[in-house]
Amino acid sequence: MQRRNFLKNTAWSALALTGCTSLNKNSMKEKMPVQPRISLAQWSLNRAFFGGQLAVNDFAAIAKDTFGFEAVEYVNGFYKDQGEKETFWQEMQSRSRNAGVKNLLIMVDDEGNLGNTNDADRKKAVENHYKWVHAAKIMGCHSIRVNAFGEGTKSMVRSALIDGLGQLSNYAAREDINILIENHGLYSSDGKWIVGIIEAAGQTNLGTLPDFGNWCLNTQWGSTQYDKCTEVYDRYQGVLDFLPYAHGVSAKSYNFDDSGSDRVIDYSRMLKIVYDFGYTGYIGIEYEGEELPEPEGIRMTKTLIERVWKELSQA
């Protein structure tokens, strides 16, 4: 989202958080889709993929044929040996096209810290991400998702991230690919801090992928599934912080109660923030619960999103 829209959208999202949404509410609702656009994140099936019950190369067809999704998000961890193989990604693009599925982004982990305070190591981390930019381009994706990690004081890591993310965004801009920061624990789950880095970097293709769940400030990856985190950034504020720069939304889900609601994340409150903001992009399901089989968890998350969205559209 362009910077010139930032103040307008931030003002609107602040109203949404407080519930004061009477301003142009009717006209805004007319522009919102009656049904949300929902995609499937590959991590939702990580147990089946890692266990060999499903083939990672068949992800697009699985998403469409088994669950009815028409858009997907990939995880680079399943394709570590394929990163630089253009013919592989051309074949994957062909598979998704044949399945009638749109490729949205690639989530990139374990390629070095873009906020490394050592200049040489940071440069290496930036260059490690290049192959995923190329893969995303071949696949027809709009973005890659990265992590804003680094070791040191907040001010040290901030300076390093402004440089590292700036370098990578500049490179990715040549391929028309966005670089999206996900809240993934530690400093990266400080919503306002990340937004400050995006503004300081000044790259129009540098944005966010707000995740409903990863807001633990003192654990890498940021999971809040079992309420063990001792320092948590407010998840609802964090999503609100990120929305002005969002090119996607990651609907993390864990375990469900008897009514079909997530036991950790208040989906009615969370999706109201997303809806009232006027977000019309894809909402990607990322089921991470352990109590249900993955297919059931995915379907329950989809049902929950659709139910809450319908309630919001009728309110």
pLDDT at 49 over 80: yes
Distance from CA of residue 168 to its chain's centroid?
18
pLDDT at residue number 22: 40
Domain at 90, CATH number: 3.20.20.150
pLDDT at residue number 30: 67
At residue 72 the predicted structure's pLDDT band, cuts being 50, 70 and 90, is very high
- Domain tally, the chain: 1
Mean pLDDT confidence for 100-125: 98
CB atoms within 10 A of CB 155: 8
Mean pLDDT confidence for 260-279: 97
At residue 31 the predicted structure's pLDDT band, cuts being 50, 70 and 90, is confident
- Among the residue ranges 8-22, 78-92, 136-150, the one predicted with the least confidence is 8-22
How does the average pLDDT of the chain come out, rounded?
A: 92
Domain limits at 102? 3-314
Q: What is the DSSP string of the chain?
A: --GGGHHHHHHHHHHHHHT---TTHHHHHHHS-SS-EEEEEGGGGHHHHHTTSS-GGGHHHHHHHHH--SEEEEEGGGGGGGTT-HHHHHHHHHHHHHHT-EEEEEE--SS--TT-SSHHHHHHHHHHTHHHHHHHHHHT-SEEEE-----S-HHHHHHHHHHHHHHHHHHHHTTT-EEEE---BGGGG-HHHHHHHHHHH--TTEEE--BSS--BTTSBT---TTS--SSB--HHHHHHHHGGGBS-EEEEE--B-TTS-BSSS-HHHHHHHHHHHT--SEEEEEE--SSS-HHHHHHHHHHHHHHHHHHHHH-
Mean pLDDT confidence for 102-126: 98
Collect all residues with Cβ–Cβ distance below 8 Å to 58 and sequence separation of at least 6. 95
pLDDT at residue number 225: 78
Q: What is the pTM of this model?
A: 0.91
pLDDT at 281 over 50: yes
